[in-house]
A and B are shown apart, each in its own frame.
Chain A
């Protein structure tokens, strides 16, 4: 019982940190490749604590990104939702993947996310067509093993 509450606190804490990271001003060359840390966390928590981090959780995280950085409300929320759905769908498989395969899957999920955002941008009529917009997919996939290592160590210790 108390374990669930601790998990909840942990999830909220990491989400707040990720939100801060999302708007943190970064130097120019790195800025375009800012990884979507919050999305990675949503994937991680969907795998690690699926009952806390359900679809609604993912949707609200996306909505927060919309409020902070979006053009219209609901855009990132929808993209987060789809990614969370796919993660939950393949959760049992993804969890036993070796790390390399898992990273590849996360890469695909991030690509799906960027594609949805890109697509909705186009529908709104304000597309960003530079290839740089796909950089967060790569940087996010690179960040994934590190994130797993850090969060898993932390989670095990606090179990």
Chain B
């Protein structure tokens, strides 16, 4: 039985009536939800309230950070040496790859200039650490330790060393929440790297699985194909690896094939991720970012669903289309709101 603390006598007939409080605060919360959901009016509010919540995160993180500091400072010589040799090996491999990169980049810039395409390659990145806090056990969301103060913006693409991880959905001053590409509410426009077939990879609520529901049975996809981002959404820059196709099931009675892919990014093992500021066409896409209108993921995906049927001759067609995603003239799908909006 709950004991009454001594300060709470005289509870009846004091203060405003209970029903009025419920009504008023209920109205406030409903209004708040509408403002937050329908538009982004509450972005600034969230910015500061999230900042106020920061001490909680600091406390929760403290034991974990202390532990990693301890293990870091008392790591023995041997393991450090092994790690060092591994890293220098990786660096050597990366250097060799990089040798070609400069010349390829030059060539790419030249070719793009010839075709008057504006999509940039590369961009500025920043490393963010994934915080060891629980966000939601049923959704694929993680929190990172970089926020608006570091220049992070909503719908910013996030990568790791192997591919696209997700995008920023919530933002406060010192931290941000990411939605992973495997979340059931997330979709990302991709193209098959081998032949340029466009489609949309929808999260399946499973860290190791994406599904591609809009590929017809005739489309030329096979297991092992690499899927890269197509850049049609104006959120994710074109050409970054997303997933590899793991399963293609064609039932001739159906219109669409059952295609599954496995994300390349190490969604369950990452400690650190890369925030990406894409290069050249940034001036245009933020305009579409600022008015996300938060559409249901399924609505915008209807339009691009028809595109795979008109499979173009390999790799020639889609390129110019996705080169200028912001202008939205060349391809009908881009007139839709960005398909990768998480909500």
* Chain A residues at the B interface, C-beta cutoff of 8 Å: 3-4, 7, 16, 19-20, 22-26, 31-32, 34, 44, 47-52, 54-56, 59, 62-64, 67-69, 71-75, 77-78, 81-82, 85, 88-89, 91, 94-99, 102, 120, 124-126, 128, 130, 132-133, 148, 152, 155-156, 159
- Docked pose: A86 CA to B48 CA in angstroms: 31
How many A-B contacts at CB < 8 Å in the complex?
A: 151
Contact A77 B21 (CB under 8 A): no
Contact B2 A67 (CB under 8 A): no
Contact A59 B8 (CB under 8 A): no
CB neighbours (8 Å) of A133 from chain B are 138
Whether B336 sits at the interface, judged by CB under 8 Å, is: no
Contact A68 B53 (CB under 8 A): yes
Between-chain CB contacts (< 8 Å), 11 pairs: A23-B57, A24-B134, A25-B134, A67-B49, A68-B53, A73-B45, A74-B30, A81-B29, A85-B21, A99-B1, A156-B3
Contact A3 B134 (CB under 8 A): no
**A-B pairs, 9 with minimum CB distance:** A74-B32, A74-B29, A78-B29, A74-B33, A55-B21, A4-B7, A128-B138, A47-B2, A72-B36
CB-contacts of B37-75 with A (<8 A): 37, 42, 45-46, 49-50, 52-53, 56-57, 59-60, 64
Contact B5 A98 (CB under 8 A): no
Can you name the residue of chain A whose Cβ is closest to the Cβ of B59?
A20
Instruction: State the Cβ distance, A19 to closest chain B Cβ, in Å.
Output: 5
Whether B4 sits at the interface, judged by CB under 8 Å, is: yes
Interface centre among B5, B32, B133, B134 (most CB of A within 10 A): B5
CB-contacts of B1-28 with A (<8 A): 1-8, 11, 14-15, 18, 21-22, 25-26, 28
* Chain B residues at the A interface, C-beta cutoff of 8 Å: 1-8, 11, 14-15, 18, 21-22, 25-26, 28-33, 36-37, 42, 45-46, 49-50, 52-53, 56-57, 59-60, 64, 132-139, 185, 296, 343
Contact B29 A124 (CB under 8 A): no
Please name 5 further chain A to chain B contacts, defined as beta carbons within 8 Å, in addition to the given A74-B32, A88-B18, sorted by A numbering: A25-B133, A49-B4, A74-B31, A152-B1, A152-B2
Instruction: State the Cβ distance, B68 to closest chain A Cβ, in Å.
Output: 14
Contact A52 B185 (CB under 8 A): no
Instruction: State the Cβ distance, B228 to closest chain A Cβ, in Å.
Output: 27
Knowing A34-B134, A130-B138, A132-B138 are in contact, say whether A82-B22 is a contact too (CB < 8 A). Answer: yes
Contact B33 A7 (CB under 8 A): no
- Docked pose: A24 CA to B33 CA in angstroms: 26
Knowing A23-B134, A68-B56, A73-B45 are in contact, say whether A152-B37 is a contact too (CB < 8 A). Answer: no
Contact B50 A67 (CB under 8 A): yes
Contact B56 A23 (CB under 8 A): yes
- Docked pose: A30 CA to B290 CA in angstroms: 38
Can you name the residue of chain B whose Cβ is closest to the Cβ of A76?
B29
Contact A78 B26 (CB under 8 A): yes
CB neighbours (8 Å) of B57 from chain A are 23
- Docked pose: A27 CA to B138 CA in angstroms: 14
Q: Which one of A20, A47, A77, A152 contacts B56 once the chains associate, using CB atoms below 8 Å? A: A20
Q: Which one of A31, A49, A124 contacts B5 once the chains associate, using CB atoms below 8 Å? A: A49
Contact A124 B37 (CB under 8 A): yes
Contact A78 B33 (CB under 8 A): yes
